[in-house]
Amino acid sequence: MKTAVVGSINMDMTVTAERIPLKGETLKGEDIRYIPGGKGANQAVATARLGAQVEMFGCVGDDDSGRKLLANLKATGIATDCIRVIPNVPTGLAVITIGDHDNTIIVVAGANDYVDKAYVDSIRDELLICDIVLLQHEIPQETVEYVVDICHQHGIPTVLNPGPARPVKQETIEKISYLTPNEHEAVILFGKDLSTEDLLKKYPEKLVITQGSRGVSTCLKSGEVLQVPARKAEVVDTTGAGDTLNGAFTVEIAGGKDIREALQFANTAASLSTEKFGAQGGMPTYKEVINAMKS
């Protein structure tokens, strides 16, 4: 099974501090690191680390960060032939502050804005030989909609992780196979009129809402609301937990697992990822996840 990830490729500038600063406040940082990131690249790495065949689709700048990020993806076993290098444009950058077991992130899109409809047309044939497509919101919204349309027309399942939060057209939601917002993103997508339970029941086995330390929820086609609790972890860095969950969930769905099994596996993988530093650095292997589930 071949997984396509269409999304962002960033360099993460990660600063650690005792806690997240308040508005207008200056704190002394403890450390700074430059780490490969971007929700698209992170999810591609999570998927590849779990043993999947992965093709990354996206853009980087013609700069040192872009070259390092391409090398990192290749080293993880991800196919990068369709990644476009954009001259005179910087590679995407995420400024991340980590403190007190939490994080804040500001993303500068850079070359990620060039993942446009024309780019998708140029890689369309390669995209259509993939078995499942994973997307996020760090590329232009019209591109996300365009990819979903193409995949829907050709019967290719899609997983949309709608972060950062922004509205999604109802017609796009209907075409997506799986939608995986966190609680904040779910409010942006659907408003506050429905409770979480009623919202899940409206989209059985399509809508998956992640809830941090409380785990993840969905509604089965039987009408049962499934709550998969989070695995206890010695938390070091939560930055890549959501991306790990999405990558792991996609791997299991592509492999034919039902949604209950896929979420149990994905939730375990996400918790393991928080026990090491860096969005990609803590992403577990398939064997590590299986061993954690057994224990």
How far apart are the C-alpha atoms of 277 and 35, rounded to whole Å? 10
Structure-token pair, residue 212:
């941090």
How far apart are the C-alpha atoms of 272 and 50, rounded to whole Å? 13
- The one catalytic residue in 12, 63, 237, 243 is 243
Structure-token pair, residue 264:
């149990």
How far apart are the C-alpha atoms of 202 and 216, rounded to whole Å? 17
Give the DSSP letter string of 156-201.
--EEEE--S-----HHHHHH-SEE--BHHHHHHHH-SSS-HHHHHH
Q: Is 63 a catalytic residue?
A: no
Type and span of the H or E element at 270? helix 259-273
Between the alpha carbon of residue 103 and those of residues 97, 179, 184, 211, 252, the distances in Å are 5, 23, 15, 15, 28
Q: Who's near 279: CB < 8 A, 6+ residues apart?
A: 12, 35, 36, 37, 42, 237, 239, 240, 243
Residue type, 100: D
List residues with catalytic annotation: 243
